[in-house]
Structure 1
């Protein structure tokens, strides 16, 4: 049992470091973690209203309004009136934002690809592939 606890702690530490290193490759500029989260949610889930984003991010609509305003000012999101409720605006990512997301993902993929090739032998790459299957079993329901 203690071995599993130590393994869990080590895994969390390594995953956190990997996440930080990948984030460094993305060049997200001056965006806050909340702004990044909102952009990624719009990318993953598609257009949404400020209210829907606030619920999804577990924050007050007024606070989300400030986040959205900053993203609009940066040219990363755009809004159109909701045809079902003209009082609301449906927000989506701008073409500029979509391009930045693609470039960031490509930079992270390239960095990780280069690290794997440079630091791991073919046998170690196969071990990593096996480890990924184990990680999938941990996270898949």
Structure 2
């Protein structure tokens, strides 16, 4: 059962990813953007550490994201030598649209492929699966 659940969750993640247009962004770029969204402004070196990358590699990621208008750098108010990277408004909108597309796809799939009784079963299964991730 564990192997089937893992495979199913992986397939669901892939299907959800397909619903949002990531354009030409690499997985590393998307991961950096989502980390900035989740954790707020950060330096390139702190992003590199958090993502398990070399600083030079993160520099390449950041340069591409800046060129695409997804991130912007500003001097750190506490240490002007450091640059804090943050998401642009355009990036925040891109993330919002991507989430909405995934939500719409999943909602539509649930409603069109499952009966009312099956939806209740899925709802119960979701509650049980939450217990696996709750601390």
TM-score range normalised by the length of the shorter chain: over 0.9
Report the count of equivalent residues.
135
The answer as to 2:43 corresponding to 1:33 is no
Distance in 1, Cα, partners of 2:76 & 2:29: 22
Which residue in 2 is equivalent to 1:20?
A: 14
Please state how far the C-alpha of 1:85 moved relative to its aligned partner. 2.0
Distance in 1, Cα, partners of 2:82 & 2:48: 13
| Counterpart pick for 2:58 among 56, 64, 86 | 64
The answer as to 2:96 corresponding to 1:98 is no
Distance in 1, Cα, partners of 2:2 & 2:66: 40
The answer as to 2:79 corresponding to 1:85 is yes
Q: TM-score, normalised by structure 2?
A: 0.97
Which residue in 1 is equivalent to 2:104?
A: 110
Please state how far the C-alpha of 1:44 moved relative to its aligned partner. 0.8
Which residue in 1 is equivalent to 2:68?
A: 74
Structure 1 unaligned regions, length at least 5: 1-6
> What is the DSSP-based 3-state SS (H/G/I as helix, E as strand, rest coil) of the residue aligned with 1:28?
coil
Q: CA RMSD in A?
A: 0.8
Q: TM-score, normalised by structure 1?
A: 0.93
Q: Does 82-91 or 49-58 show the bigger shift?
A: 82-91
